[in-house]
């Protein structure tokens, strides 16, 4: 019985821990995201993707060529959504929101 628990402990230790976050993009923009030590990851419109933990910056544009950015900090197991909200001058701005 003790051997079975020891084997289970070794098996569970071999499973990698969750060390990323997920972001769902609700906008019409396609973003290129830099997160942690990872560069050039794509996040398309209405898609979800995993990103490395750490400071995050994203730059993108829509089909009409309108440029947009967002930034934040991504931790282990975090979940975010990129939404467009109306700015003070009536323009739509992408914002990173925790789920």
**Beta-carbon-side half-sphere exposure of residue 22 (alpha carbons within 13 Å):** 8
Band of pLDDT at residue 37, cut at 50, 70 and 90? confident
Tell me the CATH class for 17-98.
Answer: mainly beta
Q: In whole angstroms, what is the distance from residue 88 CA to residue 90 CA?
A: 6
What pTM did the predictor assign? Answer: 0.77
As given in the structure block, the two tokens for residue 40 are: 């050039």
* pLDDT above 90 (res 7): no
Domain assignments of the chain as residue spans, ordered by start: 17-98
């Amino acid at each position: 019985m003790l051997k079975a628990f020891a084997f289970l402990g070794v098996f569970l230790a071999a499973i990698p821990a969750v060390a990323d976050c997920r972001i769902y993009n609700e906008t019409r923009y396609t973003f290129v995201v830099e997160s942690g030590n990872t560069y050039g990851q794509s996040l398309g419109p209405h898609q979800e993707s995993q990103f490395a933990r750490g400071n995050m910056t994203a730059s993108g544009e829509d089909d009409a060529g309108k440029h947009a950015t967002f930034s934040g900090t991504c931790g282990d197991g975090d979940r975010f959504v990129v939404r467009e909200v109306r700015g003070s001058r009536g323009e739509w701005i992408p914002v990173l929101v925790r789920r």
